[in-house]
Each structure stands twice: as C-alpha cells, then as structure tokens.
Chain A
Amino acid sequence: MTAALTISGVRKTYGKLEALKGVEFQIQRGEFFGLLGPNGAGKSTLINIIAGLVQASAGNISVLGHDTVSDFRTARRLLGIVPQELVFDPFFNVTDMLRIQAGYYGCGEEVWPWIDEMLQRLDLWEKRKVSMRALSGGMKRRVLIAQALVHKPPVVILDEPTAGVDVELRRTLWTFMRDLHSKGTTVVLTTHYLEEAQEMCERIAIIDKGEIKALETTQQLLARHPFRFLRLKLAEGAVLPVELQPLVAANINGSLELKLETSKNSFSSVFALLRRDGVAIEDVQTRDPDLEDIFVELTGRKGEVAA
C-alpha cells in the first residue's frame, strides 16, 4: 500500500548551511505520527518543503504516491497543513474565509455542511460572521485548523497547533483530531509539548541538525533507554550514601532525582544502602522515563523542543 507521505533523500542548503541532510522516511496511511526536534533542527524546513513553500535542494516528497512538485495539484489536494504562524486575511469573515479556502481546493457548496460542522466542533459557530481581524488569537488558531481541513484531506500536518493556546482549545483540538484519525485520516504532528506527542502519536521521528536521529514507535522509543527515576526527599541533615551520589540526575525543590538503570540499579539495592547509612527519608516517588528524557538523551538539548 502506498505510504501517506514518502520523504526521499531531501536536502536543503542555504548557502553553506545544510538545513536538511538527506532526510528519508515514510509515514504510513492512518498513522498518528510525531515529528519532534529542537529549535533549528530542520523540522519547519521539511514541512515547508512538503507544503510547497520552500524548494528542496535535492530529493523528493510524495503524498499518497503523488509527487509534491511534478504532480503538485493532486498532492496538495490530498494534504492539509496547519501553519505554525498565526496568519489570517483581514478582509473576510470566518465563513467566507473557509469557503474561499475550500474553493482553492476545487470544492464548492458540497462542503458547506462540513464547514458548518467544523465551525460547531471547533466552537466557532458564534463567530462565523465575525471579521477575521476581530478574532482573538485562540479563535484565529481554530480558523487555521478548520482551513487546513476544509477540503477533507486524507493527510493532515499540524505544525505546532497548540502553541500558545488555552487548555480548552487543546482539548477540543485533540478530541477532533482523534475523531478524524479514527476515521482513517493520517495525522502528522509537531508540538512543543512532548507529553502531547507521547499521548497522541503511534510513531515518532526525532530530527536534529537536519538528520533523523530516531524513528520508532512511541513504545519502542520509551523502552529504548531502560532507566527509571526515583525521587527522594531526605530528612533535614541526612546525606545520600556515597555510592548513590553519581546517580543523582536532578535536584528538584530539595528532592533528589536518581536515574537508575534497570539492569544495574534496583530499587531494593538503593534502599539497602539508605538503610545501611541510616538515612531518614520524608518522601519517595518513582516515575518511568518520558519522551522528554529520551529527547534530551538523543539531542543533548532540553527545554527547546520543536519550532
């Protein structure tokens, strides 16, 4: 079966800077796929090449088998992209904007019921006759999402759809996207919020410095580095045994977070050492590694996910 998106040897250079170094991967039909990377990793460049906003220096991309350059009309009709920037056309109201967008994709009145449905599901119904320039940022973001979906594309790319939006919109958006995904839509997501990617995506690619560093299912990625975390809040004046001090990964509000390799450091061995030295403990917490731990491990960068 043809992949939803096939990215083959895509390179992009800006003078001496190589933004993409021969990126190659496929996204299968019906997947909920995450594309993550730190700022400047090449993620937006890749999305812009898929969208036709940037010309690749080499390589090609196809959407459901249709090349985005030689067969750009079909490829674009199969694709819906929510751009990262909050852009809008100030001359039109919400409904006009969506109908115009549908028209660009060759859709007429037959999609108006779908437009009405989206307006309701994205809580835009009350604003449907309001000028785009009068909408709040969150409302503009909702319109951008509706615009990307107006022609019912089988492949949707959401470039930071939840950046700077409130919890309510996030919830609305994810409910809507889950529903579309359950009906067969392929969803590609980039996000600042790794917990979102971990929760939503079946497979994740991590891109850094123009190269794919990892491309696995979310579960495989999480199991890739078999460690767990043990957070200890020691009693006042208590000192961690010398053997455990190299395992301290972080000091969070006075609690020490130990990074334990499951094959080497068991919880029981840690507690045995604490008992040996008579260390009094006020509180204990454990947690499994999350996507952010994996991300930091692969890219060496923290707190600058996506862009």
Chain B
Amino acid sequence: MTPNQRGFYTLLKKEVMRFWAVLGQTVTAPVITALLYLLVFAQAMKGRAEIYPGVSYTEFLVPGLVMMTVIQNAFANTSSSLIQSKVMGNLVFLQMAPLGPWEWFFAYILAALVRTLIVASAMLVVVLPFVHLPIHQPLALIAIFVLTSGSLAVLGLIAGIVAQKFDHIAAFTNFLITPMSFLSGVFYSVHALPPFWYKASHFNPFFYMIDGFRFGFFGVSDVSIWHSLMWTAGFFAVMTAICLWMLITGYKMKK
C-alpha cells in the first residue's frame, strides 16, 4: 500500500469508526423512525387501491422509505462529521496531513455509503418477513442506491464546507433535505398529485431517486428508469464538480 493509499484508507476507516462509535444514533434511530412511518402509514392507508397493478400500498411504501432514510443519512453522515471537526477544531489534524482533495472526497463519500448500506439493509431485514418485495432489476437498484447515497453524501460534504456552525447544517436539513425528501413521492405516486405539484415533482431530483429505486423492486415506476438514472447521475456529477472545486481551492477551509 502506498502512503497516499494508506492515508485514504485511514480516513475512510476513521469515518466509519466515527459513526460506528454512536451506532444507536447513526443506524438504530433512523431505522426505527422509518419503521414507525411504515407502521403508521401502512395502517392508515390499509385497504386503499393498489398504486401499481399487483403492488400493495405497504409494498409500494417500503422502497420509498428506505430511499428517504438513505437520503437523510448520507447527508447527515458527511455534514455532521465535517461540522463537528470544524467546531471542535480537530479538522486541523486532517488539514495538516498529506491528504489531497481526492482522498478527502472518496473517504467521506465511501464512509457515508457504508452507513447507508447498513441502514438500508437493516430496514429491509426487519420488513422482509412481513412485506413481499420482489427484486425485478437488481442492477438498477444498485445503481440508483449508489448514486443517491453518493449524491447526498457529496451534498453533505458541501454543506459541511460552507457551514460555520451547527445551525447552518440544521438549516440545510430542515429547509432543503427534509422537505425535498417528503415531497418526492415516498408516500404516494406523483400521478395522484394536482397538475402543478405533479410538474413541480419532476424538478425534484429526490423524486427520480425514489422512483428509480422502486423500479428496481417492482419493474414499474412513474417515469422511465433511464430518466431516473440520468437525473440521479446528473445530480451526482454536478454535486461532485462543486465539491471538488471547493476542496481543491480550499474554499471556506483555508483562510
């Protein structure tokens, strides 16, 4: 292993150890929250018409909830890690180390991917005995999962770079991530929306992430899987370009 590779691997390991040290907060809590949503909505909407032929509301809900949890946790992992290091002052250990922008980028993103993989797997393991979930398109499922987790992890990194205090991260979460994830078709098909909100949903990248993920399970979705893949990949590319520019120039990180 070269020194650069070891530096990258260490940062990745440290980021995984960081969320692992508070597993109750980083994995158990979001899984329980998502399961409560499932319990409440599945009961409340019991008996409603199938959204897709042969797919019950509970089955329809599970992929959306998994993806919403992935979105929120990928963002939280990178943003909270970076802002904590900034506020505590220990970011200097990383800033003074011989690590380049690429090592920072991939280590933070991969650690978020590991966390979201654990969270999503835990959710699926818990619901699978009760909810039938076929896997229609595994490649689409994996691609959408990786691109979504990656995109939100990068957005979290951007938020962490821009933010100077915890309040700034809370603003990102409360005014951007939460509303966009709730209004992305987690709990409903966008075809059920009034025309304005139906159109507006198509400008929300989270909608394509959730719809594409659902396609991976059922083989049916509100929009074409290619459309979802293009939107999700495009969002990832734009976020990555912005984030790398920030890391390379030292934006908000170097005085």
Residues of A within 8 A of B (CB): 14, 48, 51-55, 72-74, 76-77, 79, 81, 83, 85, 87-92, 96, 100-101, 103-108, 147
Contacts and interface: CB of A to CB of B under 8 A. Distances in A.
Q: Which 9 pairs between the two chains have the least Cβ-Cβ distance?
A: A106-B3, A103-B10, A87-B89, A104-B97, A73-B98, A76-B98, A89-B90, A54-B255, A106-B6
A106 B96 contact: no
Is the contact region of chain B dominated by helix, strand, or loop, or is it mixed? helix
21 contacts: A48-B255, A51-B95, A51-B96, A54-B254, A73-B3, A73-B4, A73-B98, A79-B96, A83-B96, A87-B89, A87-B93, A89-B90, A100-B14, A103-B11, A104-B10, A104-B94, A105-B7, A105-B98, A106-B3, A106-B6, A108-B1
B35 interface: no
Given A88-B88, A96-B17, A53 B9 contact: no
Contacts of A96: 17
Contacts of B11: 103-104
Interface of B: 1-4, 6-7, 9-11, 13-14, 17-18, 21-22, 85, 88-90, 92-100, 250, 254-255
A100 B255 CA distance: 26
Contacts of A107: 3, 6
Nearest to B255: A54
Given A53-B96, A73-B100, A85-B89, A103 B6 contact: yes
Contact of A72 (B2, B18, B98): B98
B95 A52 contact: yes
Nearest to B249: A55
A109 B99 CA distance: 19
Contacts of A147: 93
Contacts of A72: 98, 100
A85 B88 CA distance: 10
A96 B21 CA distance: 12
A104 B93 contact: yes
A108 B6 contact: yes
Nearest to A78: B98
Given A55-B254, A85-B89, A101-B93, A106 B21 contact: no
B18 A91 contact: yes
B111 to A, nearest CB: 13
A139 B242 CA distance: 40
B92 A77 contact: no
A83 B92 CA distance: 8
Contacts of B97: 76, 101, 104-105
A125 B7 CA distance: 25
Contacts of A55: 250, 254-255
Nearest to A77: B98
Given A106-B3, A147-B93, A87 B88 contact: yes
A81 B7 CA distance: 18
Given A89-B93, A105-B98, 18 more contacts: A14-B255, A52-B95, A53-B92, A54-B255, A55-B250, A55-B254, A72-B100, A73-B3, A73-B4, A85-B89, A88-B88, A89-B90, A91-B21, A96-B17, A100-B14, A101-B93, A104-B93, A106-B3
Contacts of A90: 88
Contacts of A81: 96
A206 B4 CA distance: 37
Contact of B7 (A52, A53, A85, A104): A104
Contacts of B100: 72-73
Contacts of B18: 91
B255 A106 contact: no
A91 B95 contact: no
A178 to B, nearest CB: 24
A72 B9 CA distance: 19
A90 B93 CA distance: 13
Contacts of A77: 3, 98
A87 B92 contact: yes
Nearest to A100: B14
A153 B24 CA distance: 39
Q: Which of A14, A81, A103 neighbours the largest number of chain B CB atoms within 10 Å of its CB?
A: A103
A81 B17 CA distance: 25
Contacts of A48: 255
Q: Which of B3, B18, B22 neighbours the largest number of chain A CB atoms within 10 Å of its CB?
A: B3
Contacts of A74: 98
A81 B94 CA distance: 12
A76 B93 CA distance: 11
Contact of B17 (A51, A92, A101): A92
A76 B9 CA distance: 18
A105 B3 contact: yes
A104 B100 CA distance: 11
A252 B88 CA distance: 43
Given A53-B96, A73-B98, A104-B97, A91 B4 contact: no
Nearest to A102: B10
